[in-house]
Structure 1
């Protein structure tokens, strides 16, 4: 009798432990539930207590006051990033919940981590790092804000506590969330990065779509490996798993029938930022209208496929990463902007639904709809080629005055090699003057982005001071350096308003005083008088305005401030021996 009781108690304990290892998603009746932040952290904490191959590490503090939790899975119990590199382990970083309303990765990763520890076994040559839930702020703002999405029953909000879209914040790093995640990226230095999402847009048959770093802006060595080996194998394995993939669907016109254009992730996006660090990067985009459980399981299967391939190719990935770093260190020309090549395209077989138009019950006008009773499989155009719109030759070095503190702090965060001047030094450099730029009337993610920037370069002598930073452009982070410091870069620091104070004039004149000074200048400088006369001849408005003519003389005089519209970061074009700390 006692033996039966003991066996019964053991069985009950076993069932209890098994249920304790199930995620809130798995425990929910209809598999239409995503875990809350508290449930996520509690789950991983309990899992870590019983598994020595798992460790939770907190990084920084997010905008809502919570630390960012990283789940580290290591077969050899290596939880130090430097030790992992020394032992030639590849690092795979998985990010979840950047948009908490797109939560599949959160729930799939909880199951995936458990199964790797309990069933499948961890890979030998890969350390897996999982950001448990990135946008903690948005996850607390729980509701049903994504009207286009089929479940779960409740989920988080896209914006964080500052109403920032964290997937537009990477290069500017306004949020403390971003600082924490970039600390993780630059500490662990992953070779492969995955960001899990849910799509918006057209209707089609696929549960899973994929964004990969656009091949034409990726380093050629990395692009060759991903396009010829890694990505095709991911597509093959996902089809075998039952979740056939297609490239992310961004239609050239209203529907996929018109063709789809590969997504260009600029550095404001997670994978645009990581690609600047020569990290192989992917974004999963499960389809918003498919059942939530299918989206979770598709994400799970993708992560399993990615881990298996990275383990298989661990040595090769290390080699291509090292080669890419060396190539970028020596690279001379860098693209600052891109556009799709609409003259050349590939063809892919696409599983869609027939689109049509019917009368809207809201407006009485034609509206788009997809007829799921009419699926199709047919070839469509895939515009996967991009052309650079503007390029620049790198200088020997950039010199960043220490006054621009956020730039310096972001460079330190990103582990850019740079050294301060030991003494005040006057150097021959190239400076840019901002000739023109376009700025919208409304802010985007808290900024009035500058675009279509026109520059007037000028060679001059500039005095720099002890403590100003010299950044040589001979390192693996060259893309990050050039794309942030060249004002014409689509996501440069100039574009994001880091330097907007240069648009302000700080000195002016009293007209009645400057009248006499201006008259003297015109007498002493015939070339200035001729310049004024030429300007009057070309501009009737100027010719009729006394104040405008006086201002013209002032702006062309030695009294006008030389720093007005002058971009403060200098380009050192010839190597010079500098005394650096």
Structure 2
């Protein structure tokens, strides 16, 4: 429903036919006009530059005209953050946020209802994608008439970039999010997938992964309140329809929001995150209305429960400083199914006219409502004992930069030093995707060996103590087996290469014989290899390369040695 105040400051969506979304230029001009007219309500500023050189903006609304971040922090003000347009072809949040901010400016009662809570927003995160307008890239989406593109100027999906930070946008976002430290975040999207009754579905930060009493509060208090209020306001909402099989009839499971995604990234900062996903086949006007309602519902709950949320976040951050174990990987728990009342449409299968298979369609003339299985829990799959600190050699500058952007406390060594006991990993095996994934050859599979040794560090190397609130970010990026570690994203790929990778066979033959005489362990390893690979004994290069790479004499200590050591 359009606000009465829209007459004075209508958004491009409100001026259209219900199937049009704002352009980036229209959006920025709209906020600049509001900020100029209502400087005591809205602060508007440039926060960065996109990869194609366009300005990126943020806005801030407070009920009392206090906008200075340090002052707000000193006052302990709750921060509600709304991020929009990360996928610029999913623009409902862009239009909904514009109308909401306008109403804050023009409706005193709505502004006063914020109380001490701060409404922080990024109007368009993927600026590059937003200006790349067309009407075809969202293959199955019903409207709007034209919209932006998913990729940014580097053709990156920014909702996969929060850890690796290849884009200027993500580098800005890491610093921005850390500086403002929001209590609750809503990052707006549109969903693909099975057809059903709901215009709105919701991905929350997975409560088990969020952890502690904050995760319990999200599961037991916040989510039921949001679903109940959305139902009351005429927009019934269900969990994101993450299918177990082909149709919702077979059930759904929670989306495992890894740190590459916005809600998973928020969890690294102990922030409750939501990724509302409107349904692609509902009319665009309905999707905008549902998104506006969802924003208001989550905001209202956050305002009413701000003190409790802030306290639970403080507790979780304090717990991070004294944890003795950290989960590195999670999986959906299929041992604890729940039941979810769901409204869907009958799936109809008919022979395809294109190939020799059955196609599926959903018949909206045959709605149904019934309980389906919902796996709404996750369990720890891999846990690591927390070290006292990590030692990051100063050479790995890109890693150190990202730690700093996320508020991780780092202490450079002021002199060379030897640490007597450190946990060191060697990479036994990696399984890398056959094709590029968001600009990287991502390591899906990592097998490590672990041993303890003394570490010689240089002045300027960085100590990362885990006795700090940002311990979780450090652990989940520096432990190589974690879902979205820097290692998996390829930041340490150079250690997977031997630097001396050539041998002259006619010279090395005699050297290899002497190595076998000097190294009994190598002789045993070589005997085992010969027994397992008799066909390769006729291949001189294979024989000599095995001895070269497995012997001690020409070993390269850096080869396959993970450079970050865990001090124990």
What is the TM-score of this pair, normalised by structure 2? 0.95
| C-alpha spacing 1:528/1:31, structure 2 compared with 1 (3 Å) | closer
Q: Show structure 1 runs of 4+ deviating over 6 A.
A: none
Aligned pairs (5 A) from 1:256-405: 256-363=248-355, 365-405=357-397
1:300-353 CA distances to partner (integer Å, 9 max, x unpaired)?
111111121111111111111100111122122222222222232110111111
Corresponding residue to 1:117 among 102, 105, 108: 105
Match status 1:564 vs 2:559: yes
Per the alignment, residue 6 of structure 1 pairs with: none
Per the alignment, residue 444 of structure 2 pairs with: 451
| C-alpha spacing 1:529/1:229, structure 2 compared with 1 (3 Å) | closer
Match status 1:522 vs 2:516: yes
CA deviation after TM superposition for structure 1 residue 236, in Å: 1.2
CA deviation after TM superposition for structure 1 residue 415, in Å: 1.0
SS at match of 1:566: coil
CA deviation after TM superposition for structure 1 residue 232, in Å: 1.1
User: Contact between 2:5 and 2:103, CA under 8 Å: does it hold in 1?
Assistant: no
How far apart are the structure 2 equivalents of 1:479 and 1:541?
A: 49
User: Contact between 1:207 and 1:243, CA under 8 Å: does it hold in 2?
Assistant: yes
Aligned pairs (5 A) from 1:169-184: 169-184=161-176
Per the alignment, residue 499 of structure 1 pairs with: 492
Corresponding residue to 1:44 among 31, 34, 41: 31
SS at match of 1:567: coil
Aligned pairs (5 A) from 1:191-210: 191-210=183-202
1:98-131 CA distances to partner (integer Å, 9 max, x unpaired)?
0111000000000001112212224112100010
Structure with max Cα Rg: 1
Structure 2 gaps, min length 5? none
How far apart are the structure 1 equivalents of 2:289 and 2:274?
A: 18
| C-alpha spacing 1:524/1:437, structure 2 compared with 1 (3 Å) | closer
Match status 1:135 vs 2:126: yes
Corresponding residue to 1:481 among 474, 479, 498: 474
CA deviation after TM superposition for structure 1 residue 516, in Å: 3.0
* Range moving further from structure 2, 156-165 or 529-538: 529-538
| C-alpha spacing 1:92/1:360, structure 2 compared with 1 (3 Å) | same
User: Contact between 2:183 and 2:310, CA under 8 Å: does it hold in 1?
Assistant: yes
CA deviation after TM superposition for structure 1 residue 432, in Å: 0.8
SS at match of 1:47: helix
How far apart are the structure 1 equivalents of 2:368 and 2:525?
A: 69
SS at match of 1:330: coil
Aligned pairs (5 A) from 1:430-441: 430-441=423-434
SS at match of 2:187: strand
What is the TM-score of this pair, normalised by structure 1? 0.93
| C-alpha spacing 1:493/1:17, structure 2 compared with 1 (3 Å) | closer
CA deviation after TM superposition for structure 1 residue 20, in Å: 4.5
How far apart are the structure 2 equivalents of 1:190 and 1:269?
A: 16
- Give the number of equivalent residue pairs: 557
CA deviation after TM superposition for structure 1 residue 58, in Å: 1.3
SS at match of 1:76: coil
How far apart are the structure 1 equivalents of 2:394 and 2:284?
A: 50
Corresponding residue to 1:77 among 65, 68, 71: 65
Match status 1:250 vs 2:239: no
1:147-174 CA distances to partner (integer Å, 9 max, x unpaired)?
2111111100111111100001111110
User: Contact between 2:5 and 2:106, CA under 8 Å: does it hold in 1?
Assistant: no
User: Contact between 1:345 and 1:384, CA under 8 Å: does it hold in 2?
Assistant: yes
CA deviation after TM superposition for structure 1 residue 522, in Å: 3.0
CA deviation after TM superposition for structure 1 residue 184, in Å: 1.5
User: Contact between 1:125 and 1:314, CA under 8 Å: does it hold in 2?
Assistant: no
Corresponding residue to 2:547 among 549, 553, 556: 553
Structure 1 gaps, min length 5? 1-15, 574-581
Per the alignment, residue 411 of structure 1 pairs with: 403
SS at match of 1:161: coil
1:174-218 CA distances to partner (integer Å, 9 max, x unpaired)?
000111122210111101111000110011111111111112211
Corresponding residue to 2:223 among 208, 225, 231: 231
Corresponding residue to 1:218 among 207, 210, 221: 210
How far apart are the structure 2 equivalents of 1:141 and 1:378?
A: 42
SS at match of 1:302: helix
How far apart are the structure 2 equivalents of 1:479 and 1:250?
A: 27
SS at match of 2:58: strand
Aligned pairs (5 A) from 1:451-470: 451-470=444-463
How far apart are the structure 2 equivalents of 1:526 and 1:376?
A: 72
* Range moving further from structure 2, 239-248 or 60-69: 60-69
SS at match of 1:146: coil
CA deviation after TM superposition for structure 1 residue 545, in Å: 3.9
| C-alpha spacing 1:21/1:457, structure 2 compared with 1 (3 Å) | same
| C-alpha spacing 1:460/1:357, structure 2 compared with 1 (3 Å) | same
User: Contact between 1:68 and 1:180, CA under 8 Å: does it hold in 2?
Assistant: no
Aligned pairs (5 A) from 1:32-71: 32-51=19-38, 52-71=40-59
CA deviation after TM superposition for structure 1 residue 96, in Å: 0.3
Corresponding residue to 1:89 among 74, 77, 100: 77
User: Contact between 2:433 and 2:444, CA under 8 Å: does it hold in 1?
Assistant: no
CA deviation after TM superposition for structure 1 residue 452, in Å: 2.0
| C-alpha spacing 1:460/1:426, structure 2 compared with 1 (3 Å) | same
CA deviation after TM superposition for structure 1 residue 356, in Å: 1.1
CA deviation after TM superposition for structure 1 residue 377, in Å: 1.1
Per the alignment, residue 12 of structure 1 pairs with: none
SS at match of 1:60: strand
